[in-house]
Structure 1
């Protein structure tokens, strides 16, 4: 069963299960170039659709040292105090060397071939997440890719995943799974009973054709790959209208292995789109009115999740 939910798109009740973030900074001075009230901003689409831009090493250094170690040491505390921005996970617009990506015909990448180095730099009030080649100076994480629904068959949905994630990572093995921002997608944790390992899957446009269709696509995918659903983060859990234009909130999703409970946790940080950022740069995110809400779901192979529980 899911433990904390942020609430569905049409929910007007106070959000449940939220952990309050750090005190909000003073309100920024309004920009003179602020669009007219009638101009409705367009939120970024799911995952990784922002235009690629090359960022030289000299520019990267301007934003200070990486805070990735702090994030990896206590993911819930860090994500409760910092706005995670996962747009442009690939700083040069292409996956780091040594990181294998799934394809529509081969949706799963072995976990040991999805390893990358996590970097976290602060800029404009955002903790910008990025990935570089494995073996770098920073936490090693598993990267969960995204394939748009246009790359899969319409009647099957589109899935991108990693397989063979150990239930209990050993020292030196990644203990975090990172993926791009969610704006309509879902992330699922799956159990492979054959070898007692986990898989994580990014399902594109879960709610595009309605939750019932998304669930049907997922059910077909589970049967085809002989996997069991053990946790899921869907748009119903993180998306609701915000701001004067009612732009739907998105989420930054990640999974981490909690040593205290000896269990993986699937986490979604509610985030709100602020603006498109500089030309060729990342969109900027801001704290939603209710704060940096955190959705948390334990990944327990002994407690499978029924598809009927998804919305």
Structure 2
């Protein structure tokens, strides 16, 4: 997808962190970072995922921000064709599904230098998380979940995952009717996203912007050719150890393509070079009552 971000509610800070027409993985390419990014629309794929490599789910689950700071996350090809079992998907007429219907099991496996994220139905061995879907241009552009608690109770999911960004945006919204959070994946934000979001929210005055991660936050030149970076996003609730209220944050790890991977597989990603911004961006989610 093309960068899921909302434009400009918060400046990024450094980390001290059914079935639609989904794009298919590209054919193999050489290892140079090159011009391949335009072939990758977002982090979803219809081919069955493979999960080779060392299981690093515990590492990611125990401290996602620290794991993101030390490993290259890869959210391409996260699930088999269609949705994970038991997960409801939004559509153009119903852009939001309830958070209770979005729960999945998240796992991470280290392979070829990437921590590959994958999701299956809820209740499996791994991290229980919310899954945020993606609708491409022509299919709605907006796909979201609603009813996420401001402060999850023990045992409730405290992570939201979605596909990789290359032009899309991810928005956090405060639902003033229910005093809960909604999260929105906004396709092709880089084209006319700010106006599209304004129109979308004008029809839903109970939703207030609470934070966004957009191409302006994550798309930066890298390497000899100045290739724009993409990002692997996730949303995480951090609970302090002193029992004070925790906070949700949108986290985006910048990356670029190492090569195109194998047919039906994932592209290999790598840490960008020559960045003038932090490798991991964090956007605090700040509910607004007025």
Q: TM-score if structure 2 supplies the norm length?
A: 0.84
Aligned residues of 1:4 and 1:18 also touching (Cα < 8 A): no
- Conservation of the 8 A alpha-carbon contact between 1:163 and 1:198: yes
Q: Residues 36 and 252 of structure 1: is their aligned pair in 2 closer, same or farther, counting only changes over 3 Å?
A: closer
Per the TM alignment, residue 221 of structure 1 is displaced from its structure 2 partner at its CA by 1.0
Q: Which moved more, 1:93-102 or 1:171-180?
A: 93-102
Specify the alignment match of 1:143 in structure 2.
131
The residue that corresponds to 1:235 in the other structure is 215
* SS of residue in 2 equivalent to 1:106: coil
Residues 52-90 of structure 1 deviation map (CA, whole Å, 9 limit, x = unaligned) = 3235xxx64x4233x223212211101000100000110
Residue 4 of structure 1 corresponds to: 12
**Aligned residue number for residue 103 of structure 2:** 115
Separation in 1 of the partners of 2:257 and 2:217?
17
What pairs with 1:210-221 in structure 2 (closer than 5 Å)?
A: 213-221=192-200
Find the counterpart in structure 1 of residue 236 from structure 2. 256
Q: Secondary structure at the match of 2:81?
A: coil
Q: Provide structure 1 residue ranges, at least 5 long, that are not aligned to the other structure.
A: 6-16, 22-32, 153-157, 305-311
- 1:288-299 residue pairs with structure 2 within 5 A? 288-290=272-274, 293-299=279-285
1:277 to 1:303, Cα distance in 2 relative to 1, 3 A: farther
Could you tell me which of 148, 159, 170 is aligned with 1:165? Answer: 148
The aligned residue for residue 224 of structure 1 is: 203
Deviations 1:62-120 (A, max 9, x none): 4233x223212211101000100000110x23321111111011100100000000010
Q: Which runs of 4+ in 1 moved over 3 A?
A: 33-37, 39-44
Corresponding residue SS for 2:138: helix
* 1:41 matches 2:33: no
Unpaired stretches in structure 2, ≥5 consecutive residues: 1-8, 18-28
Match of 2:60 among 38, 46, 71: 71
Question: How many residues are treated as equivalent by the alignment?
Answer: 264
Distance 1:286 1:35 in 2: 11
CA contact 1:43–1:273 (8 Å) conserved in 2: no
CA RMSD between the two structures: 2.3
How far apart are 1:3 and its partner, in Å? Answer: 4.5
Per-residue displacement from partner, 1:120-147 (whole Å, max 9, x unpaired)? Answer: 0011000000001100011100000111
